[in-house]
Amino acid sequence: MFSVTWQPHSGERHAYLGPQVPDGHMVKLLCGPEIEARGGLPKYPYWLWPECDACRDGAGGASAGTEPPPGPPSGPLTWLDIDLPAFGR
């Protein structure tokens, strides 16, 4: 399962991979373009904007874990495999 964050841009709500990033960081939208992130919850009227079709399709597959979203994640994401001993050993 992948996490996605929604971001208003150009009259639509778009999605990018990962948790919300601070203002000014560049993020790659699931539909392709790279934009500057705006933090915080979407405010009126942004939350009324329609969703980008490509981002909605990519976010649906990403959140269901059925397919990886297109392209590598952008931003301060890293993936780690950690092997820890069981509790109480």
Mapping DSSP to helix (H, G, I), strand (E, B) and coil, where does residue 35 land? strand
Q: Which domain holds residue 45?
A: 4-64
Query: What tens digit of pLDDT does each residue of 64-85 get?
Result: 555 555 555 555 545 555 565 6
Tell me, yes or no, whether 25 lies in a domain: yes
d(CA 16, CA 37): 10
Tell me, yes or no, whether 72 lies in a domain: no
Tell me, yes or no, whether 14 lies in a domain: yes
d(CA 18, CA 28): 10
Query: What tens digit of pLDDT does each residue of 3-45 get?
Result: 888 888 999 999 999 888 888 899 999 999 999 998 766 677 8
Model-wide pTM > 0.85: no
Tell me, yes or no, whether 78 lies in a domain: no
Tell me, yes or no, whether 79 lies in a domain: no
Tell me, yes or no, whether 32 lies in a domain: yes
Tell me, yes or no, whether 27 lies in a domain: yes
Tally of domains within the chain: 1
